[in-house]
Amino acid sequence: LCRSDEVRMLRSSFFHETAPMYLSEQPSFLNAAIEVETSLEPHVLLKLLKDVEQDLGRNFSEVRNGPRPLDLDVLFCDRFENGAWKHLEIDSSELQIPHPGIAEREFVLKPLSEVSGGEYMHPLLNQTVQQMNEQLPKSTGPSAVRVLPLPRNRTILFNETIVMGILNVTPDSFSDGGNWDKSVAVAVEHALQMQRDGASIIDIGGESTRPGAKEVEEEEQIRRTVPVIKAIREESDIPISIDTRHARVTRAAVEAGADIVNDVSGGLHDDRMLETVAEMGVPIVLMHMRGTPETMLSMTEYTNVVDDVTQSLKERVKAAEEAGIPRWLQIADPGIGFAKDMTGNLLLLKNLDKIRSHLHDIPIMVGTSRKGFLGKLTGVTEASERDFATVGSMIAPLCLEGKDHTCSILRVHNVAATVHATRVLDAIKSV
């Protein structure tokens, strides 16, 4: 749609899975909303939407409200006239604006509120999006669940805290360097063991980003990671993320079977990264850091670490969206240990709710696993012995948030211990 020169995406919602409506004997719905700016008249825009539907396989002779690959609608339309925005109302045989079904559909109102804001006013009903949401009948079934879309029609459901298992196929990572790079078979078996332990994602890295680490050539990263990705794909369809700052490595990894890009630079290290991720249509983790692994420990002074990191992440989220990566494919990471001192790390963990709120509830990834500040707090000098501290540093921030549920990913070395802890956390929050 946005490949048209006359349509530009301004904002996007997250993806939500809901029970099917009207005709229950069909798969669950996946729903999202976008706000676009266009010079097209509404009927011309509708024709463009129907062309997109047809190109993507929709059969217009199908049963009304029955299974279909996608269904695109115009919900509202505002026009700028005489220096002010005005609601447009259309009632024709081909198009009705506002869309007549908005007020009764949770699967529309949920993503719509993320794009328009709860105070957007329905011009005919004289109700805000928030008011329409509040007046929906209480459902006896599960409510809308946020999802992360993946390649090959797969998703990750945020109906629980997600655990990501770390697989470093490097000789020099700070905790497990040299453990899993001896052979592809050794690396694959560790990945499969983490899956058995409950990991929802395997994060594969071919470049250490520990403090002081030097940059690894792209070709060497590809040599280390791609054979492992391909071999895991022969055994499992578990989601795989590629931990890299480089667009060329990203492309090779996704083509080999990776599903997510985890970029510790937030897309700043390689100016081709965001456009590459947008082209490949995969999710990206946008992490905050300053400098490079070689220089970051000299860059730990902030005016206000929580506000500064939050503002930087807001800028990266906006840059990603402008590059064509919708919000439903974005995850933010405050970058614990990356250009942060002890106090900075603790303040970020303590204020995770503030960061999440200012980023409009974007999924947050937290990566404290076995890091140096935990060793200083506990006196445990051996990184591989810091798993107890890791679990505490992961679970405490989610408890401090106080919300029933948040969309969170915990990136860890010890998957089993973290999965056990998150299951208890999720159970307590759900009652």
> Which positions ≥6 away from 206 have C-beta within 8 Å?
169, 170, 216, 220, 221, 222, 223, 224, 225, 243, 244, 249
Pairing of strands 145-150, 127-128: unpaired
Q: Which residues pair with 85 in a beta bridge?
A: 80
The continuous run of DSSP H or E covering 390 comes out as helix 387-401
> Which positions ≥6 away from 138 have C-beta within 8 Å?
none
* Residue-wise DSSP of 142-209: ---EEEEEETTTEEEE-SS-EEEEEEE--S--TTTTTTS-S-HHHHHHHHHHHHHTT-SEEEEESS--
Whether 239 and 149 have beta carbons less than 8 Å apart is answered as no
Residues catalogued as catalytic: 371, 411
Cα angle for residues 155, 269, 165 (degrees, 5° grid): 40
- Angle between helix axes 415-430 and 387-401 (nearest 10 degrees) is 20
Q: Using the structure block, give the residue that is written with the tokens 């905050």.
A: 288
- Which of 159, 156, 134 lies closest to 145, judged by CA? 159
CA distances from 77 to 32, 40, 130, 211 (A): 17, 11, 18, 50
**C-alpha to C-alpha distance for 428 and 405, rounded to whole angstroms:** 10
> Which positions ≥6 away from 258 have C-beta within 8 Å?
204, 229, 240, 241, 242, 282
Whether 225 and 253 have beta carbons less than 8 Å apart is answered as yes
**C-alpha to C-alpha distance for 92 and 243, rounded to whole angstroms:** 51
Quick one: 206 exposed, middle or buried, by C-beta within 10 A (0-12, 13-18, 19+)?
Answer: buried
Whether 378 and 365 have beta carbons less than 8 Å apart is answered as no
- Which of 384, 383, 359 lies closest to 373, judged by CA? 383
Whether 365 and 408 have beta carbons less than 8 Å apart is answered as yes
> Which positions ≥6 away from 354 have C-beta within 8 Å?
306, 310
